[in-house]
Amino acid sequence: MDLQKNYDIAIVGYGPTGVTLANLLIKMGLEVLVIEREPAILQLPRAIRFDAECMRVFQTIGITEKLLEEIAPGPGMKFEDAEGNLLITWERPTTKGIHQWSSAYRIHQPDLEAVLRAKIHDHNLLDLKLRHEVFKIDEHADACTIHYENLANGTLHQAQAKFVVGCDGARSLIRRLIGTTFEDLDLHSKWLVVDFIAQNNTNDIGDYSIQFCDPKRPMSYIKGTGMRRRWEIMVMPEDDVQQLATPESIWKLLEKYIRPEDAIIERSAVYTFHALIAKKWCKNRLIIAGDAAHQTPPFMGQGMAAGIRDAANLAWKLNESIQHNNLGLIESYHSERLSHVTEFVNGAVNFGKIIQNYCEDAEFQQQVNQLKNFITPTPQLGQGFYITGDKLSGQISPQFLLINDQLSDEIVGYQYALFIHPEFKHLIDNLNHTENLVTLIADSTQPKKWLEDNQAIAILVRPDRYVFGQANNRETLEGLMKAANIYDLAMI
């Protein structure tokens, strides 16, 4: 066993959530240990969607220019019954919206992970241990000791970190060490997932995802990047699962839509879709994120996106907690994200029940009518680190196009931003001396209108782009900054 090394944060798992978190932590100057049991990125087409909010996180990390070479905007989703009648339309505009990005993007997960890893490859703040596995963690008052094995040669090692974050998937060791159970949101079903690489455009049935709500055989079609196509086929009670997954069976099931001479089966696998949320995400210095904390059916395309949001919410709080020894801020990560992700998982469950059980009785028709022109939800965070009492706080803020076509997130970086109306800029003459706060005078159209629409002289936005609070006069501005505790009030 070698000498113990000390880190600020240890991350267990280096998938999309883990590598996003590592990028954000290193951006703030923290020393990070990553332990990952796989020797390299898994070259499997798993997640194939993320949204505009995730793109803002990737923008913060600094990979959008490279990422744009790998992704494509994707429109929304349509639900059809067995006769091809349109039941529900979920539009996801490909034009730039309030985040200054398209609503959703198609991605091949290994490509995304490669871009994220390349951003911090060989960074001196990252100690990456591939082909290693954690087998024990000792918890102390001010740190954790991580015991791990080099799977290539069997040698044992240990390290110490102030916090350990489990981004280690559905079978998470860190979740088991926290000792939590799941809230079951009542959807468990087996589906055959088949990824194709099309050889031509003969079988391209459009850019929209389509949910075929046929009670005899529910299916989903999703167009991926380039020539990638995915079909998800529900396993029915009478099916022989092994037989169902054979190429002969797959081509027979999909003969109406895709033919062997026009595509290659890249991968097929039977998955059980779950809707589960861990009841506890933190215990002292142990934390979970991504699939370790929540698992969702794929019907809203929010599985990976939820983990990216976890990382963005958590990274700056870890930094604050280390700088000021404030464990309470970490607890707010759980309470804020729990409420937010639950809305998306419940949405996926509701969609799943329609897809899997659609019929024409009154109950289902009522559900369909309620969702007929579905709009992507923008949930408020659960109770946590923001000012309560107004409709704006706890909501995601827009990104603004400023003078000279600058994007506001580019100026702010991963820190607090205070947007203040130009008529009141005299109140913050000395504020720019604060290290972790950027002040933006709202003298361009978009942020000025945002302030005026919310009857505010200033709005404070957290590093994860969620609104901390707003002020409508000098007194409430002072109270806002004091509550955030990010600078000496004598500066005003």
Is the pLDDT assigned to residue 366 strictly greater than 90?
no
pLDDT at 488 (0 to 100): 39
Which candidate, 45, 47, 11, places its Cα nearest to that of 31?
11
At residue 357 the predicted structure's pLDDT band, cuts being 50, 70 and 90, is confident
SS3 per residue for 395-411:
CECCCCECHHHCEHHHH
Average pLDDT, the chain: 92
**Side-chain half-sphere CA neighbours of 173 within 13 A:** 16
Q: Domains of the chain by range and CATH?
A: 5-69+107-184+277-351 (3.50.50.60), 189-273 (3.30.9.10), 403-491 (3.40.30)
At residue 152 the predicted structure's pLDDT band, cuts being 50, 70 and 90, is very high
Mean pLDDT of the region 443-466:
95
Query: How far is Cα 274 from Cα 188, in angstroms, rounded to an integer?
Result: 5
- Pick from 32-46, 307-321, 429-443: least confident: 429-443
Is the pLDDT assigned to residue 487 strictly greater than 50?
no
pLDDT at 325 (0 to 100): 78
Is the pLDDT assigned to residue 479 strictly greater than 50?
yes
- Pick from 258-262, 328-332, 386-390, 433-437: least confident: 433-437
Residue-wise pLDDT tens digits, 410-440: 999 999 999 999 999 888 765 544 567 888 9
- Pick from 37-46, 296-305, 435-444: least confident: 435-444
Which pTM does this prediction carry?
0.94
- Pick from 239-248, 322-331, 355-364, 379-388: least confident: 355-364
Is the pLDDT assigned to residue 131 strictly greater than 90?
yes
Percentage of the chain exceeding pLDDT 90: 79
